Every structure is written in C-alpha cells, then in structure tokens.
Amino acid sequence: MELGTTIIGGILVLVCIIPIVIVSNNRKKKDKLTLKALYDFAENESCKIGYHDIWLNAAIGIDKDNKTLFFLKGNHKEHYIKKVDLEEIRACNVLPLDGMDKAERIEKLELALFPQTKSEPAILLEFYSADVSMQLADELMIARKWDKLINQMV
C-alpha cells in the first residue's frame, strides 16, 4: 500500500514539474535567439555589444567603445532593431517621468533619447506597452538602469 502511494505521489510531482521545466527551457532558447539577432546586427555594423539586458519581447545592448546603442523589439523571428549613435544624443529620460502619481496605471513605458539638435524629435524606445503585456514586470527597473547608464555616457 505504501509503495503504491509513493509511486502515485512521485508521478504527480513529475506531472507538476515537467511543464515548468519545459516552459523555462523554451524561454531560455528564445532569449538566446533574440540576443543572437541583436549581437549579429551589431556585428554587421562593426560594433561589439559589451553589455545587454533582455526582457519580454525586447533586448537592449551597448558598445561602449563606439558609443552605440542597439535596441531590439519583437522576437528572434519578427523584430526591428534600432541603432543609436550616443555621440548624437544630449540626454535620456524614462517616460512617463518618475514623478507621476503611483495610483496611475502605466500604459506605456519608453526610454526617450534626446538628440543634440533640439529641433529633431526624441528617439523613443518602447520598454512596455499595456497593449502587448497586461502586467509591468522588470521593464521599469531596466529602463531606469539604462537611463542612468546612457546619461553617464552622453
């Protein structure tokens, strides 16, 4: 009787754990392919990404030597990549600004890069959109980290 209970318990544990492991492995594979797309694009532009971050459907990387920022939105199959020369940027901010009311729901979170020429529009890098994902995860923390890093370089 105890052997049967142990076997059933073991099977139930496996049934619960296996899907979690499969989902985790699939996510890691997608992340690797997304980063490969970002790194390949940078290499084609004669740059080498030294630092990067990746999150749901996006990745960002920087070549500090060439002062070039790369931003990928989408996945490894369908995406767009933006290349930004930080020599042409005067400032960077997280939008919406940090001073907004905490009770307000964030519909969109962007990193705004302001060109040296004030007449040119800001370059907006979308970190989060409520239309794509229902819940904000690490995007705000990542956006603030990159805001600080970029402002130190410009």
> Are 37 and 81 within 8 A, CB to CB?
yes
User: How far is the C-alpha of 86 from the C-alpha of 108, rounded, in Å?
Assistant: 23
Domain boundaries, the chain: 2-153
pLDDT digits (tens, 9 = 90+) for 133-144: 888 888 989 999
Gyration radius of the chain over CA positions: 20
Single out the residue of 55, 123, 75 nearest to residue 95, CA to CA. 123
Single out the residue of 18, 7, 74, 66 nearest to residue 42, CA to CA. 66
Tell me the mean pLDDT in the region 36-48: 94
User: Does the pLDDT at position 148 exceed 60?
Assistant: yes
CB atoms within 10 A of CB 154: 15
Q: Please, which residues bridge with residue 141 across strands?
A: none
Q: What is the pLDDT of residue 1?
A: 64
What is the pTM for the complete model shown?
0.83
